[in-house]
Amino acid sequence: MTRDRGVDVLRGLAVTGVVAGHWLVTAPGVPGAVDGRVATASPLREMPALAPASWLLQTLALFFLLAGWAAARSTGGTTRAARLRRLAVPVGALVTGVVGLATALAVSGAPQGVVRTVVVLSLRPLWFLGVYLVLSLATPLLVRLDARLGPAAAALPLALALTGPLVPGTVWTTLCAWWVPWQLGVATARRPLGRGTCVALLAGGTAAVLLLVQVAGLPATAVGVPGAAASNLDPPSAATLALGLAQAGAAGLLLPLLRRAGGPVPDAAVRLGRAALPVFLLHQPLFVLLWLGPLPLGPLPGLHDAPDDPGWLLARACWTCVLALVLARVLGPVPRQAERR
């Protein structure tokens, strides 16, 4: 399959949003002196004025849109099997490494809270891959659905996702919610969405997010906040669905421009987009190692202390730059290898 530069740029922007969002808001503290418990806080709870930024960094729908686009372009059984094999090997290596680290920590007498934090923070993003796997296997059916209904086929999972509160558990809502951008990605792969459609998706989705948050009372942050009664992400709410529609519209408007864009920033986004899977898999384990390594030395600003003032944000921004440099170093050769595939 020939690579699409515009799609790679968008994928790079999507992975940047996800990674930056996790690195900036995940704030585990130090283990308690008595019970060894590690409390995970969030600057979004302590500094509510940051809530609008969470909507800019919540780019999971864009990820699923682009994954649906790629899956629809490579619907052959052999191609799907190869993609799944490329997914299984690094995921297996990641799980093995995290389990090994957790076991070593437990054997060495580390507090249970530290061991649990290492496992949960490192592996929590893997839920994405479970949904990805289901939708990837279903793509031939979704392509046929698109052939019958066109972009309007996305209305089916949208309606199903909105029935989520009627179904026990969160799996149904989660799967149907991310099916919506995936289906729009399938549609985009088969024919460009019209400019009017894209404008309607962008404007309507944005307006719906504002109304749902400001009028209907949905949470003000795009992601979950520790201690909050509700979350827009677990399971995905109507506001998250609306955000996905807005991102699909923006992507459709930007794609023609991004395919022609040159310069260092688009080029960097292309390289990042072509390494999206290893970046996604490694970004949280790297954060966990950064948090874990200096833990015996005592709390470090922006890494182990409470995220409750602008000074913490500045320190965390510095740690985020460190993480980005380490990740770039670790993955240095990967983008070029991905480019040859």
Q: What average pLDDT does this structure show over 3-26?
A: 94
pLDDT of residue 1: 56
- In whole angstroms, give the CA distance from residue 300 to residue 5: 41
Is it the case that residue 26 has pLDDT exceeding 90? yes
Q: What average pLDDT does this structure show over 207-211?
A: 98
Query: Which residue carries 């061991």 as its tokens?
Result: 115
- pLDDT tens digits, one per residue of 2-12: 688 999 999 99
CA angle 115–21–200, rounded 5-degree value: 140
pLDDT of residue 75: 62
Of residues 298 and 314, more confidently modeled: 314
- pLDDT tens digits, one per residue of 166-208: 677 789 999 999 999 999 999 999 998 999 999 999 999 999 9
pLDDT of residue 34: 64
Contacts (Cβ under 8 Å, ≥6 apart) of 318: 302
Instruction: Please give the structure tokens belonging to residue 289.
Output: 């190692």
Instruction: Work out the mean pLDDT of the chain and round it to a whole number.
Output: 91
pLDDT of residue 278: 92
Contacts (Cβ under 8 Å, ≥6 apart) of 73: 1, 189
Instruction: Provide the pLDDT confidence category of residue 256 given band limits of 50, 70 and 90.
Output: very high
- 82-96, 222-236, 317-331: lowest mean pLDDT where? 82-96
Is it the case that residue 312 has pLDDT exceeding 80? yes
- In whole angstroms, give the CA distance from residue 48 to residue 221: 8
Please report, for the chain, the start and end positions of each structural domain, with discontinuous segments joined by +: 5-340
Instruction: Provide the pLDDT confidence category of residue 79 given band limits of 50, 70 and 90.
Output: low
pLDDT of residue 76: 62
- 217-221, 222-226, 334-338: lowest mean pLDDT where? 334-338
pLDDT of residue 332: 76
Task: Assign residue 109 a region (left: φ > 0; alpha: ψ between -120 and 50; beta: otherwise).
Answer: left
Contacts (Cβ under 8 Å, ≥6 apart) of 274: 3, 8, 11, 12, 335, 338, 339
- In whole angstroms, give the CA distance from residue 93 to residue 37: 28
- In whole angstroms, give the CA distance from residue 104 to residue 120: 16
pLDDT of residue 339: 47
Q: What average pLDDT does this structure show over 113-133?
A: 94
Instruction: Provide the pLDDT confidence category of residue 341 given band limits of 50, 70 and 90.
Output: very low
Please state, for a pLDDT cut of 70, what percent of the chain lies above it.
Answer: 94
Q: What average pLDDT does this structure show over 60-89?
A: 83
Alpha-carbon 130 to chain mean position: 13
- pLDDT tens digits, one per residue of 150-167: 999 999 999 999 987 767
Tell me the residue ranges of DSSP E strands in the chain: 27-28, 40-41
Instruction: Provide the pLDDT confidence category of residue 340 given band limits of 50, 70 and 90.
Output: very low
Model's pTM, two decimal places? 0.92
pLDDT of residue 182: 98
Is it the case that residue 33 has pLDDT exceeding 90? no
Instruction: Provide the pLDDT confidence category of residue 126 given band limits of 50, 70 and 90.
Output: very high
Q: What average pLDDT does this structure show over 211-227?
A: 94
